[in-house]
Every structure is written in C-alpha cells, then in structure tokens.
Structure 1
Amino acid sequence: MTTTLADVAARARVSPATVSRVLNGNYPVAASTRERVLRAVDELDYVLNATASSLAAATSDLVGILVNDIADPFFGIMAGAAQSAIGGQEGTGRGGGEKLAVVCNTGGSPERELTYLTLLQRQRAAAVVLTGGAVEDPEHVAAVSAKLAKLSDAGTRVVLCGRPPMEGGGSAVLATLSFDNRGGGRQLAQHLLELGHRRIGYVAGPEERTTTRHRLEGHLKALDAAGIKDDPRLVLHGPYDRRSGYEATRELLDREPGLTAVVAANDTVALGACAAVRERGLRIPEDISVAGFDDLPFSVDAVPALTTVRLPLYEAGAWAGRLAMGAEAPPEGGVAVVRGELMARASTAAPGR
C-alpha cells in the first residue's frame, strides 16, 4: 500500500500543509516540528510522488559531511580536507560536473545526526561522510545502522572517518578510517611514566562517546602495565572544551595535592588545564606536566609547547573524501586503522624538575 502525504501528517500529528512545507523547504517550520515530520517520513518510507519513487535508487550531486562541532579544529580540519577532495574530483556528477559537499553540524546531538541522515537520504545523496566518535547508546546505534543501510541500498556511498567500525551496521559502510585512540592514550601515559610520574590526573571527554572511552582505556592500560592501580578519583569527565579542562583540573588539584601530571582529553581541554595550573601558582612543567591529544594547530605555539598525540586529521579527511567519490579503492576489509604519533614537547618533564 502506497504511503500518502496524509499518512505522514497523521503520524507526525501535523497538517498535510506542514508536511509539504517541511519537504519542499519553502516555508519556515519550527525545528521540533521539522524533526517530527522527518521522523515520520523516515518511518513510513514516504516519497513525494511516483517520479520521486522511481528515482529513489538514483543519487544526486550532493555529498553530506557530518561533524559534531564545526568550530572545533578537530572536525573543521577533517571536514575541510574532505570537502576539498570531493570538490576536486571532476566528471563525477550526474551531468559530468563536480559534487556539492555540504558540512552538517550536529552540535553533538544524536537526534540531529539522525535528522541530517534522513535529509540526505531524501536528497538521494551520492555519499555521506561521518566524522568523529560515535554515541555509545544501543538505541541510537541501531537507528544509525538502519539509516545507513537505507542510504547504502539507495546507492549512497557511506564512509566513516575517525570512528570505530559500526557494530551490526558494517555492511552498509563502504570504508571506515578508525583513529587508534587507545594506542595514542597508551603512548601518552607511557611517556609520562618514563619521565617518572606516578600520580597522573585525567580529564576525559563526554562519557557517552567512543573517542572518550578508547583514549581513557589506553591510558589506564599503560598505568596497569606499570603496576599503578586505577584510581577513579583521578578521572573526571566533561565536554571537549577549555572550560571543562579548567574546572576539572582545579578539582583534581584539590583532590590530590600530590598530583604531578594532567592528561587532557584533547588539546583544547589541555589549554584549560594549563590555566588552572597557573592559577594555583604552579609552573608547567616544573611543578605539573600537562599533555593533550590531537596536535591541533595551536598546540606547538602554546607556552610551553604542548606535548600531545598527533592525529593526521587533514590526511584522514582527504582520504575519506576520495573514498566517498570513488576515486580510491576502499582499504582491505573495509577498515583502516589510522595511528597517532607522540609529540613530546616542553609541557612535560620529570616531576620536581
């Protein structure tokens, strides 16, 4: 039985006119209403008309690049590189022209991520690139897997960049470029241990993110191998921003006066950690060593220069763009592990130097 616009309106609890406005994009509609309509469209697999139905398996000249926060250099660098690679491929559009790469900023919202995937499905996107860590919620993972399967079945090329392989939804993904966050976390902790640190605070990212868990697991594994018992008091979670690093480091210094080092979830968080250390009248690295992760552009110019783990963000983003365009064959098995490199700089030294 064919789904009608009225069926969608009934499911979304809005008028047929509102559904039409959302789908045509020619009239402003409240964000919550828009998301409810798109969810109903997705659940009912509604297409606008018979012509659209016949084209459901075709693809357009559109490529979607999903990021958690476009203002974060981690995502901006990857998205910019992917967009450049996609725009630089000639003769691949329906009319032989270039693809239009659009960056979709989810703001870290799982609901917004699904909404963008629905919109890209309706636009019959040629490719979708999802960047950064995923939310570890079984219901959301299942919803994303189902959405990617629909996109793939319609001919959309799906590439993950900076994400671990999807559980249960891997068949829909053309290629996964997965950062070795565990390995990077382990390298960073080993570096501090070799310098002589034993009381190390850790400012982690949001608990629900895969990136957060993997980096922390690598850190704790290195401590365990050195015979240092895990102390939950020395691990605090928060957003990937400067304020989180500042507030968490203040609390860590209150909890453990004998702290000699702080590892931050990323370089931006590390800047906040440095501010908190200086506010206490402590020197970096003479009194407290501070380390970050990612090697964002400002890291080498910080004072002192920040010890961190360099991830090849630009290279990974460009690779994802080429894969999305079909300009490069997927890695063997569909998954490639992108490893980081320890960048030991002036913000870390032996304790009590």
Structure 2
Amino acid sequence: MTVTLADVAARAQVSPATVSRVLNGNYPVAEATRERVLSAVAELDYVLNGPASALAAATSDLVGILVNDIADPFFGIMAGAVQSEIGGPGGRAGGERLAVVCNTGGSPERELTYLTLLQRQRAAAVVITGGAVEDTEHAAALGAKLRRLTDAGTRVVLCGRPPAPDTGAVALAFDNRGGGRELTAHLLALGHRRIGYIAGPEERTTTRHRLEGHREALAAAGLPTGSELTVHGPYDRASGFRAIGELLRRDPDLTAVVAANDTVALGACAALRERGLSIPDDVSVVGFDDLPFSVDATPALTTVRLPLHDAGARAGRIAAGREKEPSGGLAVVHGELTVRASTAPPRA
C-alpha cells in the first residue's frame, strides 16, 4: 500500500501543509515539529514524489556517505577515499556524482533520518562507515530501511561495519576481533600479565569485537577474562586520559594498556606521563587503526593498521558500480600488527 503525505501528517499529528514545508524546506518550521515529521517519514518509509525529471530515473547522481564523526581521522580517511572513487560511467556530468557526507554524531535516530532523506532523493548509492549500534529495535529499523533502499535500486555498501543479512547491502567488514587478539598476544609474548583495557562505548559492535579478541588472547594464555581491568568510554583522547586513573586505582602494578583506538591511546600516554611513568619502560601502550599521527607520537605507537583508505576506495568503486561485489556480499578486511616503540617487556 502506497504511503501518502496525508498518512505522514496523521502520524506526526500535523497538517499536510506542515509536512510539505518540512520536506521541501521552503518555510520555517519549529525544530520539534520538524523532528516529529521526519520521524513519521522514517517510520512509514514515505518517499516524496519529486519533479518529473527525477521520476524519469530510478536513481539520481547523489551518493550519501554516513560517518559517526567527520572530525575523527578514522572516518575522514574513509569518506575521502569513497568520494575519490564515486565518479565513473553513469553520471550525467562528465561521469561525476555528488557526494554528501552525513555526520550522524553516533546517533541511531540521525542515522535513520539521513537514510530516509537519501531514499527520498533516490540516491544512486549509500556508503555507511564504522561500527553499528547493538540495539535490537534499531537493527530491525535499519534493516528495513536498507532493504527499501536496495529494492529501489540504490547500492548500499557497509564499510568497516558488520554485514546486515537479507538487506541487499554489501559489507566490507574489518576484522576487529582478530586485530584485538593480535595486540594482546603481542603484549603477552613480551611477558606482560597485568594488562588494562580501555574500551569504547559498550553499545558499539567495534567495541565488542575488539574486546572479544583481547579476551580470547588472555584465555589462550590461561589468564582471567573478566571485566575487572576494563574501562569503557568514548573513542576520544579524554576517555583514554580519564581511564588511566581508574585502571591504576584497580591495579597500581599495571604494566601494559590496550586502548580502543589510537586517539584513546594518546590520551592514555599523556595521563601516564603526567604521573611520572615512562612509556614503555614502566607501562607499554598499544592502540588500534594506525591513524596518521600514530607513527609520529612519542614514542611511536604500536597498533593494528587498518587499510582505511583502501577499504573506503573499494567501497566507493562498488557503490559506483565500477567494481564487482565480493562473493556473498561480504569481504573481511584484515588489519596488520605494527610494532613500534611504545611496547617493550615489563621490568623484571
């Protein structure tokens, strides 16, 4: 059954004229009303009838790139690589397509809203980067949205995100679990046994997978795998700085720290230096991702190098129809342990 503008108005408890104003963006509307209308649009999967020129084509020349935080190099590198590859056969203006970067701020609701807006614009492709939120209700809503997009002819590529089965989306999934396992195994091989872990937000798939890899390595070495030396927080420098105080409170004899990513690791290193501790002589520190600043940190950071640019470029080519989709719609992208000066054996 076709959803009409009147259906959206009824769901949002506003007039059809207000819905039209929100969707067309040609008249001031209160923010609360706007959010209510966009929520109704998302819930009903309403697609605005565009002008005749838009209706004549299945998709436009628009490509949406969803990121959690464009200021984070992790997402900036992938978004830039996607944009560099989306030109090619099929675009109306010299083969080029218009890339729109949508910054969700990590909000599941904003993620769905952007997908609704891209659906309404008949986007040629959508690339979603980074980990997913582990919430059953959101996963169901996201799956329905992705199916609606792919059914309408939009190519959907998940870059650095687990697959979304039965949606038609292609996934280039990072092996976060394997990378986490390698980092901790490296520390264990150096002789560390008192290892703290600074994890990301608990609701993110990236957080869970990296932490699972860490615990697998501990278990293989016969060490406890509980959460007594694990602290959760955002993927930012401040989180790493704060976490060191808590980890040292729990275990003053800590000899190594695994950080959720390189940015968190920098914060941890700063906090250790502030306490008069040397890296790696007193405490070894490892990160994850191998962001550009990692090699220039003091000391240079041991980390897992993820091929962010290559993965983003591949996602862009698939989104543009210039590269064949991987078999089964899924390719696992592996990282590489990169050992630098921030790790060493613990003091005897």
TM-score range normalised by the length of the shorter chain: over 0.9
Aligned amino acid, residue 9 of structure 2:
A
For the 8 Å contact 2:48–2:120, the answer to whether it is kept is no
What's 2:334 paired with?
Answer: 339
Structure 1 residues 318 and 34, CA gap change in structure 2 (3 angstroms): same
Q: Aligned partners of 1:298 and 1:143: how far apart in 2?
A: 37
1:334 shift after superposition = 1.1
Moved more, 210-219 or 225-234: 225-234
Residue 264 of structure 2 is aligned to residue 269 of structure 1 = yes
For the 8 Å contact 2:81–2:316, the answer to whether it is kept is yes
What's 1:255 paired with?
Answer: 250
What's 1:75 paired with?
Answer: 75
What's 2:198 paired with?
Answer: 203
For the 8 Å contact 2:144–2:167, the answer to whether it is kept is no
1:96 shift after superposition = 5.9
Q: Aligned partners of 1:2 and 1:306: how far apart in 2?
A: 55
What's 1:66 paired with?
Answer: 66
TM-score normalised by the chain length of structure 1:
0.94
Q: Aligned partners of 1:71 and 1:340: how far apart in 2?
A: 22
Q: Aligned partners of 2:121 and 2:34: how far apart in 1?
A: 16
Residue 155 of structure 2 is aligned to residue 133 of structure 1 = no
Aligned amino acid, residue 314 of structure 2:
W
1:250 shift after superposition = 1.1
What's 2:298 paired with?
Answer: 303
Q: What is the CA RMSD across the aligned residues, in angstroms?
A: 1.9
Matched residue SS, 2:292: coil
What's 2:277 paired with?
Answer: 282
What's 2:90 paired with?
Answer: 92
For the 8 Å contact 1:57–1:154, the answer to whether it is kept is no
Q: Aligned partners of 1:134 and 1:57: how far apart in 2?
A: 31
Structure 1 residues 186 and 2, CA gap change in structure 2 (3 angstroms): closer
1:217 shift after superposition = 0.3
Q: Aligned partners of 2:49 and 2:310: how far apart in 1?
A: 42
How high is the sequence identity, in percent, across the aligned residues? 77
What's 2:100 paired with?
Answer: 102
Q: Aligned partners of 1:170 and 1:7: how far apart in 2?
A: 28
Identify unmatched segments of 5+ residues in structure 1: none
Moved more, 150-159 or 2-11: 2-11
Structure 1 residues 27 and 328, CA gap change in structure 2 (3 angstroms): same
Map Cα deviations across residues 129-183 of structure 1 (whole Å, 9 max, x no partner).
01000000010000000000000111000101001112xx43421x210000011
Taking the TM superposition and a 5 Å limit, the aligned residue runs for 1:1-353 are 3-49=3-49, 55=55, 58-86=58-86, 89-94=87-92, 97-166=95-164, 169-173=165-169, 175-352=170-347
Matched residue SS, 1:254: helix
Aligned amino acid, residue 345 of structure 2:
A
Q: Aligned partners of 1:230 and 1:60: how far apart in 2?
A: 50
Map Cα deviations across residues 185-242 of structure 1 (whole Å, 9 max, x no partner).
0100010001000000000000000000000000000010001112421001000000
TM-score normalised by the chain length of structure 2:
0.95
For the 8 Å contact 1:203–1:238, the answer to whether it is kept is yes
Structure 1 residues 48 and 232, CA gap change in structure 2 (3 angstroms): closer
Map Cα deviations across residues 31-85 of structure 1 (whole Å, 9 max, x no partner).
4432321232243444444967993971011000000010110000000100111
Structure 1 residues 303 and 54, CA gap change in structure 2 (3 angstroms): closer
Q: Aligned partners of 1:56 and 1:172: how far apart in 2?
A: 24
Matched residue SS, 2:179: helix
For the 8 Å contact 1:47–1:53, the answer to whether it is kept is no
For the 8 Å contact 1:57–1:155, the answer to whether it is kept is no
For the 8 Å contact 1:266–1:292, the answer to whether it is kept is yes
For the 8 Å contact 2:45–2:116, the answer to whether it is kept is no
Aligned amino acid, residue 9 of structure 1:
A
Aligned amino acid, residue 342 of structure 1:
L
Structure 1 residues 49 and 335, CA gap change in structure 2 (3 angstroms): closer
For the 8 Å contact 1:56–1:154, the answer to whether it is kept is no
Q: Aligned partners of 2:248 and 2:206: how far apart in 1?
A: 25
Matched residue SS, 1:170: coil
1:3 shift after superposition = 4.3
Matched residue SS, 1:346: coil
Aligned amino acid, residue 71 of structure 1:
A
For the 8 Å contact 1:263–1:291, the answer to whether it is kept is yes
1:351 shift after superposition = 0.5
Q: Aligned partners of 1:30 and 1:196: how far apart in 2?
A: 60
Moved more, 13-22 or 280-289: 13-22
Moved more, 53-62 or 280-289: 53-62
Structure 1 residues 95 and 198, CA gap change in structure 2 (3 angstroms): same
Matched residue SS, 1:248: helix
